[in-house]
Amino acid sequence: MELINEESAGELLQAQTHVWNHIFNFINSMTLKCAVQLGIPDMIQKHGKPMTLSELVSALPIHPSKAQYVHRLMPVLVHSGFFSQQTLDSIHSQEAYSLTQSTRLLLKDNPWSRRPLLLLGLDPVLTKPWDCLSTWFQNDEATAFSVAHEKTLWEYADQDPRLNNLFNDAMASDSILVSKLAVSKCKGTFDGVNSLVDVGRTRNALLKRASEQGLRIKVN
- pLDDT recorded at residue 176: 74
Percent of the chain with pLDDT over 70: 75
What whole-number distance in Å separates Cα of residue 137 and Cα of residue 142? 10
pLDDT at 91 (0 to 100):
64
Q: Which residues are bridge partners to 197 per DSSP?
A: 218
Does residue 65 carry a pLDDT above 60? yes
Residues 202 and 119 in one domain: yes
Compute the distance between CA of residue 98 and CA of residue 34 in angstroms, rounded to an integer.
17
Indicate whether 204 pLDDT > 60: no
Q: How confident is the model at residue 218 (pLDDT cuts 50, 70, 90)?
A: low
Q: What is the SS3 assignment for 196?
A: strand
User: Model confidence over 99-132: pLDDT tens digits?
Assistant: 999 999 999 999 889 999 999 999 999 999 999 9
- Domain boundary (53, 84, 104) is at 104
SS3 97: strand
CATH code of residue 203: 3.40.50.150
CA distance 151 to 50: 46
Domain holding 16: CATH number? Answer: 1.10.10.10
The mean pLDDT value for 156-163 works out to 97
What's the mean per-residue pLDDT of the chain?
A: 86
DSSP assigned state of 219:
E
Q: How many domains does the chain have?
A: 2
